Amino acid sequence: MDWVKTVNLAPLKYRNILMEQGGPIARLSIIQKQLTPSIVGHEALAYLVKDLKNGWNLKHRIYGNVDGAGSSEYKNQASYKSISEALERWAFYEIYNNAKVKNKYGFNIDPTTTGMARSLDC
């Protein structure tokens, strides 16, 4: 059963993730990037469909208005990481705009995404 540890279900789960296929990701950008002095890899940026942002229009300094970012030596892993972060950002938008749920998850105490995949002060 050692092979089970290496099975990646992301290609199956994310196969219809783009907006054109009815998914929540409007755009996915992938670039080649020097990750460390000895490793060239990829950086992926995922953008949610605008309607899912519930009126949030944030201006970020480092990545612009990206909702998820991921990097890896492997292009597909970088894209899966960025998609996962964007989905987490979508969950944050949904929770934060619901007062009952917001308090349950502690956003009344810390109204930021600290501790989430792509942390930023909102």
pLDDT category of residue 62 using cuts at 50, 70 and 90: low
Q: Is the dihedral of CA 111, 99, 115, 28 positive or negative?
A: negative
Terminal Cα distance for the chain, rounded: 43
d(CA 116, CA 104): 16
Domain boundaries along the sequence of the chain: 2-85
- Residue 71's beta-bridge partner residues? 43
pLDDT digits (tens, 9 = 90+) for 12-41: 778 888 999 899 999 999 999 999 999 999
**Rounded CA separation 118/36 (Å):** 20
Residues 85-113 pLDDT 10s: 999 888 888 888 787 888 887 877 877 77
